[in-house]
Structure 1
Amino acid sequence: MTMGGCCPGCAIGTDVGTDEDNVPVGECRPPANCLPDGRFAPVQCKGDRFTGRCFCSDERGNRIFGQMWRDEADEMTCACSRRRSQLEAEGRVDVSLHCTPNGSYEPLQCDDGLCWCAEPKTGQPTIIPVPEQDMNLLPCFRAAEVGEQYLRQCESLTIAFGMIHMEHKSHGTNFLGNPVTFCDYDGSYGPLQIQNGIAYCTGRDGKILGAWQTITSEMEGMNCNCAQDTMIHFPARGMSMTHVCQGNGNYRPHQNVGDISYCVDTDGYPNNLLPPNCVDPA
């Protein structure tokens, strides 16, 4: 659903006239970058030019793998991340496209039994694809980077788990196992992992970050964005974290700087769309 040709969930003003950005109040005012058909654009940016970041997004505006600092993101496309998101939404559990940290395609791609050298921003083959067993014949193949097999440790586990689940489903049986391993679109370990009924925030190597955790029955909505920013993204930029995280590694919606209180969204950026008590009505 779109409203006024904008992304779903755009803010609607109630007064007459224009605001400081010369946007007519009372018309659709999308808080995001939109495509002409009303879907969310693959790249969504927040914050100012120097402390802001751009994130990859699916068609509904949900953040997916891939981010860059805003002053470095002029040519960011998120093409790989968006494509992976689309394929997984269609029900595929064995997608093996590899995306770079900014959501583009890695040089070597393998999926559905074929491998090819890819154009970074589009994923289009730059050479005729070959069967996966012949990927070492491709000019973009680097043994030191790829190793003996294309799939990386984390995704090998999750794809195997997904295939077992689909096999049971095709035979009308229920697979009672629950996923305990989550991967990012580059094949590394995702932002959280489950051990002995506890969900922990983790780094790309799967190792636990700090003391951020929660029991699995309460892990819905857990994203570990604040934990990863505190331990990984901000230090890599030479910046220190000033926001407070919740116990599960998410950003605390209500933040304080001295006597000033304000709300932040799930990525840690000021969010004036939340009510004063910072409780998201959704």
Structure 2
Amino acid sequence: MLKFLICFSLSLVVSEAIQCLPNQCAMVRCAAVTQDTCNGVIVPNGGFCGCCDSCKEMLIEGAYCGSTFLLGMPSNSQCGDGLHCDTHTMRCVSKTARETQTGPCAAAHQQYLATKQQNGGFGLLGAVEPLCDENGFYQSKQCEGSVCTCVSKQGKNILDYRADIWRSNDMDCQCARDQQEYMDTGLIGRFFYCTPNGNYQNHQCLGSVCHCIDNRGQMLGTKTVNIGDLDKLNC
């Protein structure tokens, strides 16, 4: 009986807490909210019943976001830019993570975030956050320690294409990825001219005829030269 009375009383408190009277704000004295006192963003009229400005903490990816309202009071936090609160995990996740939960990289990334959360925001020693594309597969370049390598969509290293991390700014691994996917088809006859870091070279030769190519292996312009005059191509 006592438990029932407590629950009933709490329900009355909640019902009263979420009701905003027409003259509610006239009875409220607002405290000043400034950027000096707010470690987040200031929401105009974001407080209870819209009477006062409020300060919202911007949560980072992986942070708990399950607390939305308490006795009718608006939440004092929200997921940061580019993130939303996943209703299944109650964690802040990116749009990509939500839409591509079945991809091999997306699954590995979710596991990484879960482990990091369990360890108080710190990843396991040696654990590297995987970089995923918009479809949940691994991005072609993955870095660990001081080395970046080219990988397949499933995250496996492609041959020995790599570069020191401080020399990897322009590393896109497009040639290495295209070469691997072509080899996976079982076809033969196409040659790939890749640099050691997995990018396309600035030229390609078919037989004895060479021409300039872009960073996706597509021909640039119409000029061709004999392979013996490659230095005259000026790609």
Aligning the two structures, in what range does the TM-score lie when normalised by the shorter sequence? 0.3 to 0.5
Q: Which has the higher strand share?
A: 2
Calculate the TM-score normalised by the size of structure 1. 0.37
